[in-house]
């Protein structure tokens, strides 16, 4: 579904590379976890893949279902079925969750030649999806993330994902800052959404989330590259040993190259 | 060699008119005479006057305006598109400042209430008593109020007796037609609400074509004890028009006056709302929403005068500026000595959509008492690019994302509209403003 080949990227207008040759392949039906210390480039990878204008791709390519998407705008990527759950969801006063989601859902439907939903049909559809994150109807009437608690903001990202039903979702630290109850609700929601036709990439700093969601693959990112990939046992290993061991290995390798 | 001393200009340098003729209604005639004297004396404002420092008046001073009768104005056709369904039979229509009885209808107005053209009330006590009594513009040597005084013959007269409610909204529809020459018109409103009366007014200014004219309005609102007025003002003048507006409200004890001015049209719009508190425990609003682009100038100079205890006042002035447009806001709030327990809110929020737009803002508080709660603030900002990207990443085009954000910015003001069709009309106007053919110019990061 997604193939990232030798991806290099920097902040637009700056020389400093943040991604220094990322390679990653994701197939449908898979859940991947990308872990790594702060500043390793995890969030940058998510933003570059979703088309954030702040970053410039200097080399490599991103193929989504075989199509090179590096030149596409963020909305066009969303139309293809890509989704980014934000690490820091943005507050948008004055626009309700319902308004945004209806506009989003119908735009994506239109772009894909599917039928748009009228307000009444859409409301029924939304209410169904509220169960995914255990929220009440009032949630729809609230301005996007405005005055939301940290947990509500993250739930809202999962809710948006449930409604838009993307093929591929990058979830950027969706677990960070959640208390135990919110973490359960959020991971339950993600588990409900995960299926054989979609793929999910969890970007996380901690192993905590992976107690609730079992990834098929775990990758470790350091210094703008994926330095190690393995099965779910890698996460436990990291939890025990921390990143220091890997950092040593990686920097030794780096020096040897 | 001698230096020529430039003589002070008056508004008569920029317009023709015979101001010797006066109305045959005594109350109006008195003002006509006073105004005729004033306009030949009051100096035309310049940028050196503090109140006009930021306001470019060249769209008036480089033009020449004639009376409507000499302008070759087109006669009015079918304007039913501009009627409000809620006010089918509570509507006064003025065409280029002149009352049009055929297009007006007041069938739904209760018998004890007056809604009509003031020229038809030659010996009405209320008109005699109140007309011209609340404007205090002469002390400011206000040339525009003087022009209105000198020129108006027709005008809206509304009188709501004690404990009477006018159910239907009263629609004052000022229509401006195309003309061969630039003309001036002087709409006038007198509203008198007796004790515990209640009314909703929709005052609208709308142009049928994009021609040049000078629209100078004076509104006087007198609210007796416990009177309650909701006043929506929709300014959809021609984008080449100049509109100078002087609305003033005098509030007695327990009166409530809530006005909302929406500025969409005019090359130059200058609005000087004033509210005067005559007694304790009044509650009032003078909100504004300004949506301008091209080379429009929208200038609000408001003055709120708290003279007694327990007043609650609210002023939210929201502005969206695109292209080279220019917004000016100067909000004066006075709290006189010994007027305690005042709760006053003022905020001016500006959203700049272009590199070349200009905003001048000056909240101005003068407080001479100590037990008051006055909050005031002004912000100027561009669209938040993080918000744009968030919506963009959800599949909305950048244009749509910006439209939605501008729409959200304006919504708070529009939701205050009580009359359903006015609410709808404004939502349509906002969509029209935000979804222009030209791409928005993206600004900032």
The complex scores an ipTM of: 0.93
Cα nearest neighbour of B415 on chain A: A94
My answer on whether B28 and B156 are in the same domain is yes
The answer to whether residue A134 is domain-embedded is: no
- Among B231, B256, B272, the domain boundary falls at B272
B-chain residues near A75 (CB < 8 A): 392-398
- In this prediction, residue B441 carries a pLDDT of 44
* CA dist., res. A79 & res. A57, Å (int): 21
- Please report residues of B whose CB lies closer than 8 A to that of A107: 395-397, 400
- In this complex, how many residue pairs, one in chain A and one in chain B, have their CB atoms less than 8 Å apart? 71
Contact by Cβ (8 Å): A196, A223 = no
Per-residue pLDDT tens digits for A36-79: 988 899 999 999 999 999 999 999 999 999 999 999 999 999 99
Query: What are the angstrom distances between the C-alpha of B50 and each of B121, B140, B189, B348, B362?
Result: 40, 12, 28, 20, 12
Cα separation, A26 vs A191, whole angstroms: 17
Question: Measured between alpha carbons, how far is residue B411 from residues B100, B229, B406 in Å?
Answer: 34, 22, 9
Write down the pLDDT at residue B4. Answer: 58
Look at residue B376 and tell me if it is in a domain: no
Residue A111, domain member (yes or no): no
Specify the number of domains making up chain A: 1
Write the CATH number for A243. 3.40.50.300
Cβ of B412 within 8 Å of Cβ of A73? The answer is no
* CB atoms B395 and A78 under 8 Å: yes
Pair (B268, B389) in one structural domain: no
- A199 inside domain: yes
Beta-carbon separation of A90 and B405 below 8 A: no
Q: What's the rounded Cα separation, in Å, for the pair B230 and B261?
A: 11
* Strands A2-11 and A55-64, sheet pairing: antiparallel
CB contact under 8 A, B396 and A75: yes
Model pTM greater than 0.80? Answer: yes
Q: Is residue B169 part of a domain?
A: yes
In a domain, B264, yes or no: yes
Write out the residue range of the structural domain in which residue A242 sits: 2-91+166-256
Instruction: Round to whole Å and give the CA distance between B299 and B248.
Output: 16
Across A29-60, b (16+ Cβ under 10 Å) vs e yields ebbbbbbbbeebbbbbbbbbbbbbbebeeeeb
Q: Which pLDDT belongs to residue A255?
A: 43
- Tell me, yes or no, whether B67 lies in a domain: yes
Work out the pLDDT band at A241, boundaries 50, 70, 90: confident
- Per-residue pLDDT for A114 more than 90? yes
Angstrom distance (rounded) from CA B394 to CA B354:
24
- Residue A125 counted as domain residue: no
Flag whether A176 is in a domain: yes
Q: Which of A51, A79, A94 sits opposite B408 (nearest CB)?
A: A94
Would you tell me how many other CB atoms lie within 10 Å of the CB of residue B293? 19
What pLDDT, on a 0 to 100 scale, did the predictor assign at position B1?
A: 52
Residue A224 falls within a domain, yes or no? yes
Cα-based distances in Å from A196 to A166, A169, A191:
12, 14, 12
Asked, for residue A246, whether it belongs to a domain, the answer is yes
Residue B232 lies in a domain: yes
Domain that holds residue B418: 384-445
Same domain, B388 and B246: no
Q: Which of B250, B272, B294 delimits the end of a domain?
A: B272
Domain check: are B259 and B398 in the same one?
no
User: What residues does A56 pair with on adjacent strands?
Assistant: A10
Residue A117 lies in a domain: no
Which of B394, B401, B439, B442 should we substitute to test contact with A (largest number of A Cβ atoms within 10 Å)? B394
What confidence tier does A243 reach under pLDDT thresholds 50, 70, 90? confident
Interface test with B, best of A72, A75, A87 (most B CBs within 10 A): A75
- Note whether residue B334 is domain-resident: no
State the pLDDT at residue B6. Answer: 61
Q: Is residue A254 scored above 60 in pLDDT?
A: no
Taking the C-alpha atoms of residue B406 and residue B318, their distance in angstroms, rounded to an integer, is: 11
User: Of B272, B306, B326, which residue constitutes the final position of a domain?
Assistant: B272
Residue B207 has what pLDDT? 97
Residues of A in Cβ contact (< 8 Å) with B400: 103, 107
**How many domains does chain B contain in total?**
2
Percent of chain A residues topping a pLDDT of 70: 97
Whole-angstrom Cα distance, residue A121 to residue B318? 35
pLDDT of residue B419: 94
**Section A198-223 average pLDDT:** 93
The ranges of chain B with pLDDT < 50 are 440-445
The pLDDT assigned to A256 comes to 37
**CA nearest to B289, candidates B348, B364, B213:** B348
Q: Of A13, A49, A74, A114, which to mutate for an interface test with B (greatest number of B Cβ within 10 Å)? A: A74
B352 in any annotated domain: no
The alpha-helical segments, DSSP class H, found in B275-397 are 385-392
Give kind and range of the element (H or E) at residue A252.
helix A244-256
């Amino acid at each position: 579904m997604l193939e990232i080949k030798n991806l290099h990227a920097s902040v637009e207008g700056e020389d400093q590379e943040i991604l220094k040759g990322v390679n990653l392949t994701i197939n449908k039906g898979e859940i991947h976890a990308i872990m790594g210390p702060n500043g390793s480039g995890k969030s940058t990878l998510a933003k570059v893949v979703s088309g954030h204008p702040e970053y410039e791709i200097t080399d490599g390519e991103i193929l989504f279902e075989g199509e090179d998407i590096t030149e596409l705008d963020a909305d066009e990527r969303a139309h293809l079925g890509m989704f980014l759950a934000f690490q820091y969801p943005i507050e948008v006063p004055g626009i309700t969750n319902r308004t945004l989601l209806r506009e989003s859902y119908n735009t994506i439907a239109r772009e894909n030649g599917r039928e748009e939903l009228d307000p009444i049909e859409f409301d029924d559809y939304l209410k169904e999806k509220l169960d995914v994150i255990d929220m009440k109807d009032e949630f729809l009437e609230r301005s996007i993330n405005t005055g939301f608690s940290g947990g509500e903001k993250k739930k809202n990202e999962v809710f948006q994902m449930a409604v838009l039903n993307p093929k591929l979702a990058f979830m950027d630290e969706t677990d960070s800052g959640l208390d135990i109850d919110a973490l359960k609700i959020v991971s339950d929601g993600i588990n409900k959404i995960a299926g054989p036709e979609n793929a999910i990439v969890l970007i996380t700093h901690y192993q905590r989330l992976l107690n609730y969601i079992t990834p098929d693959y775990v990758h470790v990112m350091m210094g703008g590259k994926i330095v190690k990939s393995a099965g779910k046992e890698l996460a436990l290993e990291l939890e025990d040993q921390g990143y220091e061991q890997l950092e040593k290995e990686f920097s030794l390798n780096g020096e040897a190259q | 060699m001698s230096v020529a001393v430039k003589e002070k200009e008056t508004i008569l340098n920029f317009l023709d008119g015979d101001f010797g003729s006066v109305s045959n209604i005594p109350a109006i005639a008195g003002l006509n005479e006073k105004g005729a004297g004033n306009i030949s004396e009051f100096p035309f404002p310049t940028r050196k006057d503090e109140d006009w420092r930021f306001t470019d008046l060249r769209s008036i001073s480089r033009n020449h305006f004639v009376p409507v009768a000499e302008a070759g104005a087109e006669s009015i056709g079918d304007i039913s598109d501009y009627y409000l369904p809620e006010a089918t039979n509570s509507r006064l229509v003025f065409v280029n400042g002149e009352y049009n009885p055929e297009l007006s209808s007041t069938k739904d107005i209760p018998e004890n209430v007056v809604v009509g053209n003031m020229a038809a009330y030659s010996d009405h006590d209320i008109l005699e008593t109140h007309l011209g009594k609340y404007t205090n513009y002469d002390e400011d040597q206000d040339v525009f109020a003087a022009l209105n005084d000198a020129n108006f013959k027709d005008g809206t007269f509304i009188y709501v007796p004690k404990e009477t409610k006018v159910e239907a909204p009263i629609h004052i529809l000022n229509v401006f037609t195309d003309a061969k020459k630039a003309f001036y018109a002087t709409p006038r409103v007198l509203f008198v609400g007796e004790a515990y009366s209640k009314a909703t007014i929709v005052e609208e200014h709308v142009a049928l074509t994009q021609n040049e004219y000078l629209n100078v309005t004076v509104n006087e609102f007198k609210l007796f004890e416990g009177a309650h007025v909701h006043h929506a003002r929709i300014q959809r003048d021609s984008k080449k028009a100049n509109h100078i507006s002087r609305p003033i409200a005098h509030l007695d004890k327990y009166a409530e006056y809530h006005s909302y001015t929406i500025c969409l049209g005019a090359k130059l719009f200058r609005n000087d709302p004033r509210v005067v508190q005559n007694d304790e425990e009044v509650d009032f609003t003078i909100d504004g929403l300004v949506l301008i682009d091209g080379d429009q100038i929208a200038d609000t100079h408001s003055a709120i005068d708290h003279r007694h205890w327990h007043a609650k006042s609210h002023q939210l002035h929201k502005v969206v500026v695109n292209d080279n447009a220019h917004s000016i806001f100067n909000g004066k709030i006075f709290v006189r000595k010994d007027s305690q327990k005042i709760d006053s809110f003022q905020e001016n929020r500006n959203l700049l959509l272009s590199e070349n737009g200009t905003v001048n803002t000056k909240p101005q508080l003068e407080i001479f008492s100590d037990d008051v709660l006055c909050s005031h603030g002004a912000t100027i900002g561009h669209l938040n690019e993080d918000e744009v990207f968030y919506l963009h990443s959800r599949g909305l085009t950048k244009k749509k994302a910006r439209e939605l954000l501008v729409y959200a910015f304006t919504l708070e003001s529009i939701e205050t509209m009580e009359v359903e069709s006015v609410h709808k009309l404004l939502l349509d106007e906002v969509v029209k403003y935000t979804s222009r053919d030209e791409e928005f110019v993206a600004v900032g990061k």
